[in-house]
Amino acid sequence: MYDHTLAAQSAAVAVDERGVVAAWSRDARLLLGYEPGEAIGRPATDLLAARLPDSAWRSLAQQEPWAGRVALRDQDGHTIEADVRAYPLVGADDHVVWFIHAAPEEADSADLALQRRLLLYHRPAQPAVETAMRYRPADPQAGVGGDWFDVIPLSGARVALVVGDVVGHGIQAAITMGQLRSEIRTLADVDLPPDELLTHLDDLILEEIEEGIESAGEVGATCLYAVYDPVSRHCTLASAGHPAPAVVLPDGSVDFIALAPGPPLGVGGLPFEAADVRLPEGSLLVLYTDGLVEAHDRDIDSGMQELAHVLAGPTPSLEAICDNLITALLPEHPDDDVALLVARTNALDPAHVATWDLPAVPVIVADARRRAADQLTTWGMQDAVPTTELIVSELVTNAIRHAEAPIQLRLIRTESMSGFAAGALICEVSDASNTSPHARRARVLDEGGRGLFLVGQLAERWGTRHTPTGKTIWAEQPRPIPRPRARRTCSQEDHRQRITWWDHGNQREYLARTRQV
Pick the most confident of 188-197, 332-341, 446-455.
188-197
Q: The pTM is what?
A: 0.70
Per-residue model confidence (pLDDT) at position 455: 84
Give 7-12's long-range contacts (Cβ < 8 A, gap of 24+).
Answer: 7/106, 7/109, 7/110, 7/113, 9/109, 9/113, 10/101, 10/102, 10/103, 10/104, 11/82, 11/100, 11/101, 11/102, 11/103, 12/99, 12/100, 12/101
Pick the most confident of 87-96, 106-115, 163-172.
163-172
Q: Name the helix (H) or strand (E) containing 323.
A: helix 318-329
Tell me, yes or no, if the two domains 4-108 and 119-345 fold the same way: no
pLDDT at 342 over 90: yes
Higher pLDDT, 511 or 38: 38
pLDDT at 139 over 70: no
Per-residue model confidence (pLDDT) at position 34: 87
Least confident of 21-25, 65-69, 218-222, 326-330: 218-222
Per-residue model confidence (pLDDT) at position 6: 38
Mean pLDDT to the nearest integer, 148-161:
92
Higher pLDDT, 412 or 91: 412
Which of 109, 101, 104, 108 minimizes the C-alpha distance to 85?
101
Least confident of 54-63, 131-140, 225-234, 347-356: 131-140
pLDDT at 200 over 60: yes
Per-residue model confidence (pLDDT) at position 443: 45
Query: Distance between CA 221 and CA 173 in Å, rounded?
Result: 10
Give the three-state DSSP class for 16. coil
Average pLDDT over all residues of the chain: 79
Q: Name the helix (H) or strand (E) containing 393.
A: helix 385-402
pLDDT at 10 over 80: no
pLDDT at 141 over 60: no
Per-residue model confidence (pLDDT) at position 142: 53
- Sheet holding 234-240: strands in order across? 145-153, 159-169, 221-229, 234-240, 274-278
* Domain range 119-345, its CATH number among 1.10.10.10, 3.60.40.10, 3.10.20.30, 2.60.40.420: 3.60.40.10
- For the chain, the domains span 4-108, 119-345, 350-516
pLDDT at 182 over 70: yes
Which residues does 427 contact at the CB level (< 8 Å), separation at least 6? 372, 388, 391, 392, 395, 409, 410, 411, 474, 475, 476, 477
Query: Distance between CA 6 and CA 178 in Å, rounded?
Result: 14
Kindly report the CATH class assigned to 4-108: alpha beta
Per-residue model confidence (pLDDT) at position 447: 43
Mean pLDDT to the nearest integer, 216-244:
88
pLDDT at 57 over 50: yes
pLDDT at 281 over 90: yes
Percent of the chain with pLDDT over 70: 77
Q: pLDDT (tens digit, 9 = 90+) per residue, 104-120?
A: 754 344 444 555 555 54
Q: pLDDT (tens digit, 9 = 90+) per residue, 366-409?
A: 999 999 999 999 999 988 898 999 999 999 998 988 888 899 99
Kindly report the CATH class assigned to 350-516: alpha beta
Per-residue model confidence (pLDDT) at position 507: 41
Per-residue model confidence (pLDDT) at position 217: 52
